[in-house]
Chains A and B, each alone.
Chain A
């Protein structure tokens, strides 16, 4: 990667980094790392709060995204067909 590409890459990184930083800041403001004892976690067991129940149905969609988008990763899928390179 030459210098021009490095500069472009860094500026883009700044653009995509901002929303994530805001998300982190929000999470920190809301609760930090406050300890929630197990007996107070009933709401956290609601179906929509458990990532595992979504993983199965998202596997196929993730494969579609890998095959049709330049950005891959972040959703746990791997290669296999469709030129997912």
Chain B
């Protein structure tokens, strides 16, 4: 079955993303990424004397549940520091999602299972700059599932000033995602513009991040950040349908999106009670008129020498995008953009979380002494949401051992 090609819903602007500019930016990001490996003089490192590698090995089990979706995601992470101070990291995650039609966005009630492989690599090195220091970092991320591939690279650094009382961070990243369709159950009815099984779209993103960490008191740190993201390409869902003029058609979102995010965090430690307080705030605005606020508070209480209790509360509220309609049948036949995406609606959520962290210090001198610097984390989070996704649970278990 062959139908007409859908129009690409993009705005024409000076920020339009020609292929030549995308290629240029890719080379810029990956070229800068090579810088840390080329720099000659690093900061002196303790392990230089004995030629030892040090690092940390972590295993995590992640679980997510909501009415229509379950995700199980085991994860493995290794961080290494070479004798000359070069940091290497690798993180591998595989998630298996079981979802029903509500999340998949199809018009037929079907269940499906899908597996995603996700790998992140990082390299970094700290360089001496007189009394100060500069840490260069570069990273790459690759994620693949049957109907979605994402590849990204980033380069960044942290400048440590004033005996590390002040740290300035910056990151430049580039991302390329490919979106396909993998039909679940019977193919959907008319999907204007696609040849069944040959749907192939993509989008690119440029990200810029700046951060500032400041030690204010011997017990207080403040952190501020700003993220800019520019996206261009297919920014809708490949499956979700919208009723327009009585027919179910694929979503049409604008072809570009600009995101701005401001973040702030205060961290305070009270030695007398062995308590740490964190106050976080995130403010967001984008070119689709979605505005969001996201305050979060945390309390970490040391219960004993090896046991810590961590409590958190997170609030999230967002406004709707300029092309979202509560009733998706309200779209006019000549509507330029239409969506059925719950993420485009106005909603709010409350989340509470509880975490127990057990340090293995009590294993020192026993047969399991090799683990005595490690720790075990158990966490449970419950989320109340006012949109169609409904309530959700996130649970994690993590084992981390340094070597």
Contact = CB atoms under 8 A, between A and B. Distances in A.
Interface of A: 1, 5, 8-9, 12-13, 15-17, 19-20, 23-24, 26-27, 30-38, 40-44, 46-49, 51, 56-57, 59-61, 64-65, 68-76, 78-81, 83, 85
Contact of A27 (B216, B295, B342, B381): B216
A71 B289 CA distance: 11
Does more than half of chain A's interface fall in helix, strand or loop, or is it mixed?
helix
Contacts of B165: 33, 35-36
A79 B150 contact: yes
Given A41-B218, A71-B284, A74-B261, A79 B398 contact: no
A5 B61 CA distance: 43
A78 B177 CA distance: 11
B267 interface: yes
A12 B319 contact: yes
Contacts of A36: 165, 215-218
B227 A37 contact: no
A70 B214 contact: no
Contact of A79 (B175, B342, B381): B175
Contact of B218 (A30, A43, A71, A83): A43
B259 interface: yes
Interface stretch (B41-49, B140-148, B362-370): B140-148
Contacts of B237: 83
Interface string B381-403: 10001000100101010101000
| Residue among B91, B223, B396 with the highest chain A CB neighbour number at 10 A | B396
B131 interface: no
A57 B284 contact: no
Interface in B272-308: 274, 276, 278-279, 281-295, 298, 300, 308
A31 B220 contact: yes
A70 B394 contact: no
B150 A5 contact: no
Contacts of B215: 36, 41, 44
A73 B287 contact: no
A57 B278 CA distance: 16
Given A23-B279, A23-B281, A69-B292, 11 more contacts: A26-B266, A42-B218, A44-B215, A44-B221, A49-B276, A56-B398, A69-B318, A70-B344, A72-B229, A73-B261, A78-B173
A1 B287 contact: yes
A48 B285 contact: no
A15 B292 CA distance: 10
A19 to B, nearest CB: 6
| Residue among A13, A32, A37, A73 with the highest chain B CB neighbour number at 10 A | A73
A42 B219 CA distance: 8
Nearest to A2: B322
Contacts of A80: 116, 118, 141, 143, 148, 150, 152, 177
B219 A43 contact: yes
B321 interface: yes
Contacts of B372: none
30 contacts: A9-B291, A12-B289, A16-B293, A19-B283, A20-B264, A23-B279, A27-B266, A33-B216, A36-B216, A36-B217, A44-B218, A46-B269, A46-B274, A47-B357, A48-B269, A48-B300, A49-B276, A56-B77, A57-B379, A60-B60, A68-B342, A68-B385, A70-B286, A71-B286, A73-B229, A74-B263, A80-B177, A81-B116, A81-B118, A85-B253
Given A35-B162, A47-B300, A48-B267, A71 B143 contact: no
Contact of A70 (B60, B173, B278, B343): B343
Contact of A49 (B154, B269, B284, B322): B269
Q: Which 7 pairs from chain A and chain B are nearest by CB?
A: A80-B143, A48-B276, A31-B216, A16-B283, A71-B292, A71-B284, A73-B261
Contacts of A68: 342-343, 385, 389, 392
Given A56-B398, A71-B292, A64 B64 contact: yes
Contacts of B298: 48
A60 B152 contact: no
